[in-house]
Structure 1
Amino acid sequence: MRHGGRWSHGAVKVAGVLLLAALSACGSAGPGQGGGRTQVGAGGGRAAPSTPAPEPTRIPDLGDRMHGRIPAASRQVLAVYGEGEDSANSTAVLYTRRGRVWERVRGWPAHNGKKGWTADHRLGDNRSPVGVFTLTAAGGVLDDPGTRLPYTQSEDYAAPRWWDRSHWHDFDYVIAIDYNRVQGTPPDDPTKPLGEEKGGGIWLHLDHGDGTSACVSLSKDAMEYLLRTLDPDQYPVVVMGDRAALEA
């Protein structure tokens, strides 16, 4: 009650209680809240707390069969996802394993065999082989850009000048895909352990804008990045094929 322009002690106490109640209703921080606010859903209920997405312990879009072929020691995988069994278009993605987690490092557009993919590659079929293959050697017309892989520089890698001009720089940089070859030997080593009819000389090389005879082609920037990143101590492999074959 007010007396002579002053509030009584009891009235001040009541007013203080009402003020604290009003501040609490406006969402001021309570003990232990650290100044934060609890989110409330549109219907007035409390929103469920967000849960971080689990870390990927598998490479995306690979089925059990293909994933099981990746050597246990491998810490670097270049996955080449073909658009279709008969398509020459694909996407290449580099993954690195840290502990049990596979991290996506970088991806690029790519091309594969002009007639697509096959699980039974034969010489001259213009299809890239489906599978998991080690990457153990590199080379090319140009000087070593700083790779840890064994690198062989030679003009002998140059594409024949009777090929179309768009192919002249295909082999400026190459990384051998260890299909029907001896691991660790130079990319142009002619030895074919499975026989000539099973083909060979299948490489990662520079892209010329369309399908290949059986190789996988990428941009010059992509090839330089891979050459500088792939590390024999990480046991790099390529996993390649059309998406249906990779997911099976």
Structure 2
Amino acid sequence: ANMSISRQTTQAITVVGNGGSYATLTLHTKRNGIWTETLSCSARVGKNGITSNKREGDGKTPTGIYSFGQAFGVAGNPGTSRGWLQVNNNHYWVDDVNSPYY
């Protein structure tokens, strides 16, 4: 897909589907106006691949450009300088489109 990002962006992660749920993730870093590939590794996406027409429950990962918000995990902060939320049994995520908490 042809997408553009802000000129102020200095890091970008791209994910390119390889078929099914398999993909390649690449980290790009911009220094002095030049983008370089910093890291590339295998990745997984939705069990049914990637789509530009996402529907809840389709098992696909949506295409698009996204910024990172707060980082989170079950363990303590692994050393990120981002805001960190250590989740516990009081946290939950809702993917039921009919729920008032969705």
TM-score range, shorter chain: 0.7 to 0.9
Partner of 2:77: 144
TM-score, normalised to structure 2's length? Answer: 0.82
Q: Gaps spanning 5+ residues in structure 2: where? A: none
TM-superposition CA deviations, 1:124-146 (whole Å, max 9, x none): 11000011111121101011001
Q: Relative contact order (alpha carbons < 8 A, sep ≥ 6): 1 or 2 greater?
A: 1
Q: Percent identity?
A: 29
Q: How does 1:1-248 map to 2 (within 5 A)?
A: 65-66=2-3, 68=4, 70-84=5-19, 87-156=20-89, 196=97
**Runs of 5+ in structure 1 lacking a partner?**
1-62, 159-187, 191-195, 198-248
Q: Deviations over 1:84-118 (max 9, x none)?
A: 3xx10001111100122111111111100000111
Preserved CA contact (<8 Å) 1:141 1:157: no
Q: Give the Å deviation of 1:72.
A: 1.9
Distance change in 2, residues 1:99/1:157 (3 Å):
farther
Structure holding more helix per residue? 1
Letter in 2 for 1:152: L
Kept in 2: contact 1:138–1:152 (CA 8 A): yes
State the 1:152 CA deviation.
0.1
List structure 1 segments (4+ residues) > 4 angstroms apart after TM superposition: none
What residue identity is the alignment partner of 2:25? Answer: A
* C-alpha separation in 2, matches of 1:123 and 1:117: 13
Distance in 2, matches of 1:125 and 1:157, equals: 28
- In the alignment of these two chains, the number of paired residues is 96
Determine which structure has more spread, i.e. the larger CA radius of gyration. 1
TM normalised by structure 1 equals 0.36
How far has the Cα of 1:157 moved from its partner? 8.3
More strand by share: 2
Deviation sequence 1:119-177 (CA, Å, 0-9, x none): 1211111000011111121101011001011110022389xxxxxxxxxxxxxxxxxxx
